[in-house]
């Protein structure tokens, strides 16, 4: 199969956590994958090495998702290397937890830049370049429904992410491209576990009927569906949280 015949995915935040699991799953599904990362070159190269060792095709590309020139260059490189772009998954994100009264506004701006502007910038290039039959998947969060204390700024940024999808889906009318969001519940990633004691983790794990935290692979399975066979799901947010809400 030539590069022009294989489906091709770009996964931002693809070197760690949910993004890494998504990169591995899409590669296992037969897609060539561009693992886009912000800082940790070693993690990104490790993700690519794992995909390659399993017989897949992947490359690592460093970029700030909020920088439109850097993102355009990522799409240029992927098109040259793999022949086009079919799937774009926005998994890059920043989560800083403080009450509204205590949050440093610099942290609010940091989350806004990555979570909202970054998603918009990547979606903008995706809207221009994804081939017919493709899919755009943005990552949100179940805390937009649960509204726990200290999550206001993060939930607000992800609420904006959820608002983009239905609009973009309508703007892409006639091109056979779906746009959806996946909203994970508590998932066992470094981003989620950072700063939480064992009691807190156990309490959160018990909040859904499955009585466990999600695994990155659980979320990757949902993304795989939307990126492949789930062609009749469009403009939606899918809550992948084990029944928490």
Catalytic residues: 154
* Per-residue pLDDT reduced to its tens digit, 197-225: 888 888 888 888 988 999 999 999 999 99
- What percent of the chain has a predicted confidence (pLDDT) above 90? 85
Evaluate whether 80 touches 91 at the Cβ level (below 8 Å): no
Residue 183 bridge partners (DSSP): 239
- For the chain, the average pLDDT equals 94
Task: Classify strands 32-37 and 135-139 as parallel, antiparallel or unpaired.
Answer: unpaired
Polymer length in residues for the chain: 245
Give, rounded to a whole angstrom, the gap between the first and last alpha carbons of the chain: 43
53 Cβ contact partners less than 8 Å away, ≥ 6 residues apart: none
Residue 245 has pLDDT above 80, yes or no: no
The pLDDT value given to residue 2: 40
Domain extent listing, the chain: 8-240
The pLDDT value given to residue 189: 84
User: CA-to-CA distance for 231 and 60, rounded, in angstroms?
Assistant: 28
What are the strands of the beta sheet with 178-184, ordered from one edge? Answer: 58-62, 32-37, 8-12, 87-90, 135-139, 178-184, 237-240
For residue 111 the two structure tokens come to 């989350």
- Concatenate the DSSP letters of all residues of 32-82 into one string: EEEEEESS-HHHHHHHHHHHHHTT--EEEEE--TT-HHHHHHHHHHHHHHH
The pLDDT value given to residue 196: 79
Q: Specify burial of residue 61 (Cβ count, 10 A radius: 0-12, 13-18, 19+).
A: buried
Does the domain spanning 8-240 belong to CATH 1.20.1420.20? no
In the three-class reduction of DSSP (H, G, I as helix; E, B as strand; rest coil), residue 137 is classed as: strand
Task: Name the pLDDT band for 188 (thresholds 50, 70, 90).
Answer: confident
* Per-residue pLDDT reduced to its tens digit, 58-77: 999 999 999 999 999 999 99
* Per-residue pLDDT reduced to its tens digit, 144-180: 999 999 999 999 999 999 999 999 999 999 999 999 9
pTM equals 0.94
Closest Cα partner for 86 from 17, 25, 1, 175?
Answer: 175
* Per-residue pLDDT reduced to its tens digit, 5-45: 789 999 999 999 999 999 999 999 999 999 999 999 999 99
The pLDDT value given to residue 200: 83
Task: Name the pLDDT band for 104 (thresholds 50, 70, 90).
Answer: very high
């Amino acid at each position: 199969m030539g590069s022009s015949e294989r489906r091709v995915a770009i996964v931002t935040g693809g070197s760690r956590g949910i993004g890494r699991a998504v990169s591995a799953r899409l590669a296992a599904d037969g897609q060539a994958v561009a693992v886009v990362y912000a800082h940790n070159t070693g993690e990104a190269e490790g993700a690519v090495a794992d995909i390659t060792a399993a017989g897949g095709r992947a490359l690592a590309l460093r970029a700030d998702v909020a920088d439109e020139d850097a993102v355009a260059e990522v799409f240029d490189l992927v098109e040259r290397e793999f022949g086009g772009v079919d799937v774009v998954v926005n998994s890059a994100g920043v989560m800083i937890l403080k009450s509204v009264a205590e949050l440093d506004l610099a942290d609010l701006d940091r989350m806004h830049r990555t979570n909202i502007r970054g998603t918009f910038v990547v979606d903008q290039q995706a809207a221009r370049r994804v081939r017919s039959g493709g899919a755009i998947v943005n990552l949100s969060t179940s805390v937009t429904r649960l509204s726990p204390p200290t999550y206001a700024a993060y939930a607000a940024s992800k609420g904006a992410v959820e608002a983009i999808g239905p609009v973009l889906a309508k703007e892409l009318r006639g091109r056979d491209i779906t746009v959806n969001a996946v909203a994970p519940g508590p998932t066992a990633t470094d981003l989620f576990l950072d700063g939480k004691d064992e009691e807190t983790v156990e309490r959160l794990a018990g909040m859904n009927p499955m009585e466990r935290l999600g695994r990155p692979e659980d979320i990757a399975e949902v993304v795989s569906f939307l990126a492949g066979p789930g062609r009749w799901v469009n403009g939606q947010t899918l809550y992948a949280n084990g029944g928490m809400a």
